[in-house]
Chain A
């Protein structure tokens, strides 16, 4: 069940690319009439096309698009491919929407002026062969069995001073959200609630019934960062020595409960906890001094971390506590992290040292 997987590059705050086949939005048979309608409307309007996004990003983008549509009588259409089309909004509203999307690290795939670019939008609407929407199954029933296909990713955790001279600090294990989404199929894959629920269930399964293959790697010693399900009552026994339980960022909402959980996990044999999910998007919403004391913090790499404000926020954290995750092969993450005094990195882009 556990197999290695190349990790997708995360956008800001962890919005990754969509799991390709899973979308269930209305099929855009009616795209052309809609486009025709928008073109027949008042001039000086715009259309935006958003690419397929993962469930959470899609939810956020849909909110912004619908808001723009409501403000000036436009429409939002979701195609069978998971794209979203905003039609018939004023140019200013389109600008504002693009700005708001950019704040989330999202960008439209196309932007058309209406009616000047009528030909281009017509070409798009007719050009792509529209796939039929996948059949909509009874949603709740399929969630549980589909979890059989969870994909566990195992990353080497590196320690070092440079891309060349690096040693290994341990391992990080994570469940692939995009693979899980793909295995759930439509419509669950496009529903962040269901995806969260499936992630929690998969994490439960991973912790309670781990696949022994997971730990069968040469040089398995070192610390292992393993995901813990949210809010489980009794701490499970640690899967192996030197296990660190990694909690989702939502656990920060209840500092006292978190402290208690940490205490109980330690008593049950875990080495400590760590908190994951710190990101360029989340950092502005946290007061660094109030983060739980002395535990590791997993910081998710994205190019937005290199922004001045985000970098300043990271500087207020003790670099010795930070592990930069999602590091790519390109080395941007490493050089940024090393520049800030970080020494531990994880990601599919990093190879285990020989």
Chain B
């Protein structure tokens, strides 16, 4: 089971961007960086950071055309990271890179029709700045649910969003376009024994807003490390979990905060607004998203609904947190009547496999359970799933280690989503 999961990222990630002079993958680049550190030989690095919405062949072609002539005299090698970033690495003290960067900036600014803002370019020096580069590489190989918190940012153990901050966030979020913070990851059907990407079928894409990156952008550098989604419930994404809340020693414990609930609704609504953009809606294909009951009652949901059409709706999985169902069963009943009536697929979001036994699938009227893979909560592998929950009805989400896949396979589960799996 280890083999397919810990295989080099080419087996999991994209095989590179077509048409790009792909010298090697990120793993090779890491090796080169470590080598530079070990040998003390100077290297210059040029890093072009690309937002996910720029990850299109078209943009990469533009960039390649800009890069090739300026890089040729530097003997630089160009690497395309799985996350889409481009990194050029050149031997020696190439002062030439400074002028290359300047030239590129002018060039990219001149092509501003291709993007909202030109992608940022960073120059790094090895071996001194190897740590920063390795962090970037690590993030592209194993992107966290969220964008990595910038190094040096103090992660607050209690990510408390206080009232004034909340007010500020709400005001900014009410109007901001969040396209740059939109993230998606595939839900893959993966049978045990499938090797190196063979036999993985993408069932749909899970969409969400990168809350940590958004917090960093909105709150400014002093506030980085806070995660707006800290109050988000388990299945939906990413973050703090009840066992953290209960004080289990699970590392950087983040409290689940009731304060974040209104914020969550606001983010849900912004997510829906982004997904409802007509120019994008058609191209998205099957998708999954987690919504609170308030968001389903909001006007943004109606616009999203209209952008889909009947066929589109049948390809959308909507996850609702078990907590919300328990707290407001009538609200869930109303939401279910509306969602099922319109042809959506319904899921309940869970963070604890034991909750499956408590929640009868048939009575809930949901097709799927999105079970968040939390180490320490999954428990021993090999226990059968409770009655009424066939393995096909379960999606394991937030899978970030091979053991979770193993746990799922033991139970017969074949649907997985998580940072182990990229598009």
Seen from chain A, the residues whose Cβ lies within 8 Å of a Cβ on chain B are 12-13, 15, 56-57, 59-64, 66-67, 70, 100, 103-105, 138-141, 143-144, 191-194, 196-197, 199-201, 229-234, 248-250, 252-257, 260-261, 264, 277, 279, 281-282, 284-287, 289-291
List residues 187-244 of chain B with CB under 8 A from any CB of chain A: 234, 241-243
Q: What would be 10 A-B contacts, judged by CB atoms less than 8 Å apart? A: A60-B328, A233-B255, A249-B327, A253-B242, A254-B241, A254-B351, A257-B245, A257-B352, A281-B330, A287-B359
A286 to B333: give the CA distance in the assembly, Å: 14
Residue of B nearest to A248 (CB): B327
List chain B residues, Cβ under 8 A from A230.
256, 258
B271 within 8 A of A: no
CA distance A250 to B297 in the complex (A): 20
Contact B261 A104 (CB under 8 A): no
CB < 8 Å neighbour of B341 from A67, A252, A264, A281: A67
Return B333 CB to nearest CB of chain A, in Å: 6
Give the 4 A-B CB pairs with smallest separation, nearest first.
A231-B245, A200-B258, A60-B334, A257-B242
Establish whether residues A13 and B330, one from each chain, have CB atoms under 8 Å apart when the complex forms. yes
A287, B357: Cβ atoms closer than 8 Å: yes
B329 touches A279 (CB 8 A): yes
Interface residues of B in 352-388 (CB under 8 A from A): 352, 354-355, 357-360, 363-364, 377, 379, 386
B246–A264 contact, CB under 8 A?
yes
Complex contacts, B410 vs chain A, CB 8 Å:
none
Instruction: Report Cα–Cα, A63/B293, bound state, in Å.
Output: 9
Evaluate contact between A285 and B167: CB separation under 8 angstroms.
Answer: no
When the two chains form their complex, are residues B255 and A281 in contact, meaning their CB atoms are under 8 A apart?
Answer: no
Q: Label chain B's interface by main secondary structure.
A: helix
Q: Is the CB of B242 within 8 A of A254?
A: yes
Q: Are B243 and A257 in contact (CB under 8 A)?
A: yes
User: Bound complex: CA of A62 vs CA of B386, how far in Å?
Assistant: 35
Contact of B325 with A285 in the complex, beta carbons under 8 Å: yes
Smallest Cβ-Cβ distance to B259: which chain A residue = A197
Q: When the two chains form their complex, are residues B262 and A253 in contact, meaning their CB atoms are under 8 A apart?
A: no
The reply to whether A12 and B323 contact each other, CB–CB distance below 8 Å, is no
* A13 close to B329 (CB less than 8 A): yes
A140 pairs with B167, CB closer than 8 A:
yes
Would B358 and A100 count as touching, CB distance under 8 A?
A: no
Closest chain A residue, CB of each to CB of B165: A140
A234-B247, A250-B326 are contacts. A285–B338 as well, Cβ < 8 Å?
Answer: no
- B338–A64 touching, CB < 8 Å: yes
Complex contact B163–A252 (CB within 8 A): no
0/1 string, B247-289, CB within 8 A of A gives 1: 1100001011011011011000000000000000000000000
Q: Besides A60-B335, A194-B262, 8 other CB < 8 A contacts?
A: A67-B338, A191-B262, A193-B292, A193-B294, A231-B245, A253-B323, A287-B357, A289-B357
Q: A56 and B326: CB pair below 8 A?
A: no
Interchain nearest-CB distance for A346 vs B (Å)? 20
Whether the pair A196, B358 counts as a contact (CB closer than 8 A) is no
Q: Return chain B residues, CB-CB under 8 Å to A193.
A: 261-262, 264-265, 292, 294
Give the Cβ gap from B373 to chain A, nearest Cβ, in Å.
14
| Residue in B closest to A229 when the chains form the complex, CB atoms | B258
- Taking the complex as formed, is B302 at the interface, i.e. its CB lies under 8 A from any CB of chain A? yes
Asked if B259 and A286 make an inter-chain contact with CB atoms under 8 angstroms apart, the answer reads no
Binding site for A on B (CB under 8 A): 163-164, 166-167, 170, 234, 241-243, 245-248, 253, 255-256, 258-259, 261-262, 264-265, 292-294, 296-297, 302, 321-335, 337-338, 341-342, 350-352, 354-355, 357-360, 363-364, 377, 379, 386
Expressed in whole angstroms, the Cα–Cα distance for A120 and B355 within the complex equals: 51
State A229–B325 Cα separation when bound (angstroms).
18
Most B CB within 10 A of own CB, among A234, A250, A254, A279: A254
Are A260 and B321 in contact (CB-based, < 8 A)?
A: no
Q: CB-CB < 8 A to B331: which residues of A?
A: 56, 59-60, 63, 192
Pick the contact of A63: B334, B351, B359 (CB < 8 A). B334
Nearest Cβ on chain A to B320's Cβ, whole angstroms: 11
A66 neighbours in B (Cβ, 8 Å): 297, 302
Q: Are the CB atoms of A252 and B358 closer together than 8 Å?
A: yes
Contact between chains at A63 and B253 (CB < 8 Å): no
- Contact status B163-A233, CB under 8 Å: no
Minimum C-beta distance from A286 to chain B (A): 6
If the complex has contacts A12-B330, A103-B333, are A63 and B296 also in contact, measured as CB distance less than 8 A? Answer: yes
Please indicate the chain B residues that have their CB under 8 angstroms from the CB of A13 in the complex.
328-330
| Contact (Cβ within 8 A) B167 A138 | yes
Chain A residues, Cβ within 8 Å of B297: 59-60, 62-63, 66
Contact between A253 and B294, CB atoms less than 8 A apart: no
B-side contacts of A256, CB under 8 Å: 243, 352, 354, 377, 379
- Closest B residue to A101 by beta carbon equals B334
| Interchain CA distance A100-B264 in the complex, whole Å | 27
Contact A197 B258 (CB under 8 A): yes
Residue from A13, A57, A140, A255 with most neighbouring chain B CB atoms (10 Å): A140
Given A63-B297, A196-B327, A197-B262, decide whether A231 and B246 contact each other with a Cβ distance below 8 A: yes
- Give the one of A104, A196, A252, A257 with max B CB within 10 A: A257
Smallest CB separation, B384 vs chain A (Å) = 15
Give chain A nearest CB distance to B156 CB in angstroms. Answer: 14
Residues of A within 8 A of B255 (CB): 231, 233
CA distance A201 to B350 in the complex (A): 25
Known A253-B350, A257-B242; contact A60-B330, beta-carbon cutoff 8 A: yes
- Name the residue of chain B whose CB is nearest to the CB of A62: B297
Query: A260 contacts B246, CB within 8 Å?
Result: yes
Whether A105 pairs with B330 at a CB distance below 8 angstroms is yes
Task: List residues of chain B with CB within 8 A of the CB of A191.
Answer: 262, 294
Given A140-B166, A277-B327; A104-B334 close (CB under 8 Å): yes
Residues of B within 8 A of A231 (CB): 242, 245-246, 255-256
Minimum distance in angstroms from A268 CB to a CB of chain B: 11
Report the minimal beta-carbon distance from A45 to chain B, rounded to whole angstroms: 20
The residue of chain B having its C-beta at the shortest distance from the C-beta of A145 within the complex is B163
Partner of A254 from the list B243, B333, B341, B363 (CB cut-off 8 Å) is: B243
Smallest beta-carbon distance A108→chain B, Å: 15
- Taking CB as reference atom, which chain A residue is nearest B357? A290
**B334 pairs with A261, CB closer than 8 A:** no
Instruction: Give Cα distance in the complex from A196 to B243, angstroms.
Output: 21
Closest partner residue, chain B, to A291 (CB atom): B358
Please tell me if the beta carbons of A233 and B338 are within 8 angstroms of each other in the complex. no
Alpha-carbon distance between A57 and B333 when the two chains are bound, in angstroms: 11
**Is the Cβ of B329 less than 8 Å from the Cβ of A143?**
no
Cα of A37 to Cα of B107 in the assembled complex, Å: 57
Query: How far in angstroms is the closest Cβ of chain A from B351?
Result: 6
Residue of B nearest to A282 (CB): B329
| Alpha-carbon separation in the docked complex, A144 to B364 (Å) | 35
Kindly report which residue of chain B lies nearest to residue A235, judged by CB atoms: B247
Question: Are B163 and A144 in contact, CB atoms less than 8 angstroms apart?
Answer: yes
A143 to B263, CA, bound (A): 14
